[in-house]
């Protein structure tokens, strides 16, 4: 068992999952042609050891990602973060700009670090209550919410499986990051273009929020049609088409 999944060869593409997911959720992206796909298991998820830092923020997770890429010999990569993974991706790009060829924030969770103390506490406590219910209850009550209303049984099962595998220590650490960090303090240090993608039917991080994020930095927001929050599952064909476009642009620019 490892703290990552990897498949293929070519330009590196690194995928970062969200708070209630894991590396295995990217199974529809692992065989992307012409790419060395690395799906990270965030610290405290799967068999990945938790971070040693208490109250870690996105920069601490970014440091752990850098260590994994070092072990795998990946010096530069196209980086895609989904949901809470987008916050980590932004932190990694800010800390290690020379290692990021292109940055994609998919259905991004932006964090609540800029909110007032009451709101931050509310976010933290709500996630604490969720994990106290147990992974099985989360899977039964929340899995379908991450997908479009008419999602396939297979995709619902994928999301549910990830929720059942959640470890309380990893989930709570990630929830602390969500409640106390802010994507903008990292993106303000990234002085290159990036892309924002969002499922057109995303009810967790809705398109309006994704558009506002993109517009704040003069970037474009691409909607993934027929997709909810887990847009990479709901409409893998469109999501992967966009991934292949980014990878092709990287090759044409000679930056891989």
Q: 141-179: string of b/e by CB count within 10 Å (b at 16+)? A: ebbbebbbeebeeebbebbbbbbebbbeebbbbbbbbbb
Is residue 110 predicted with pLDDT exceeding 80? yes
pLDDT of residue 256: 63
Determine whether domain 4-253 maps to CATH 3.40.50.1820: yes
Model confidence band, residue 253 (pLDDT cutoffs 50, 70, 90): confident
Q: Looking at the whole model, is its pTM more than 0.95?
A: yes
Domain coordinates in residue numbering, the chain: 4-253
Please state, rounded to an integer, the average pLDDT across all residues of the chain: 96
Q: Tens digit of pLDDT for each residue in 32-69?
A: 999 999 999 999 999 999 999 989 999 999 999 999 99
């Amino acid at each position: 068992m490892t703290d990552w999944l990897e498949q293929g060869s070519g330009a590196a593409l690194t995928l970062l999952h969200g708070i209630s997911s894991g590396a295995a959720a990217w199974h529809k992206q692992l065989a992307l042609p012409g790419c060395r796909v690395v799906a990270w298991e965030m610290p405290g998820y799967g068999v990945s050891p938790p971070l040693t830092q208490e109250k870690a923020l996105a920069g601490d997770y970014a440091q752990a990602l850098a260590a994994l890429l070092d072990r795998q010999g990946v010096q530069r990569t196209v980086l895609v973060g989904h949901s809470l993974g987008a916050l980590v991706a932004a932190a990694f790009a800010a800390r290690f700009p020379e290692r990021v060829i292109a940055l994609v924030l998919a259905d991004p969770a932006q964090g609540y670090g800029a909110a007032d103390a009451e709101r931050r506490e509310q976010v933290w406590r709500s996630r604490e209550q969720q994990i106290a219910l147990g992974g099985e209850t989360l899977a039964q009550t929340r899995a379908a919410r991450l997908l479009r209303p008419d999602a396939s049984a297979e995709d619902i099962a994928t999301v549910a499986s990830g929720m059942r595998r959640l470890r309380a220590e990893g989930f709570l650490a990630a929830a602390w990051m969500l409640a106390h960090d802010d994507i903008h303090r990292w993106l303000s240090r990234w002085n290159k273009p990036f892309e924002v993608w969002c499922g057109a039917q995303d009810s967790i991080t809705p398109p309006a929020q994704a558009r506002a994020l993109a517009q704040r930095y003069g970037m474009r927001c691409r909607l993934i049609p027929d997709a909810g929050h887990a847009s990479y599952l709901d409409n893998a064909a469109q999501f992967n088409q966009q991934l292949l476009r980014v990878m092709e642009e990287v090759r044409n620019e000679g930056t891989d």
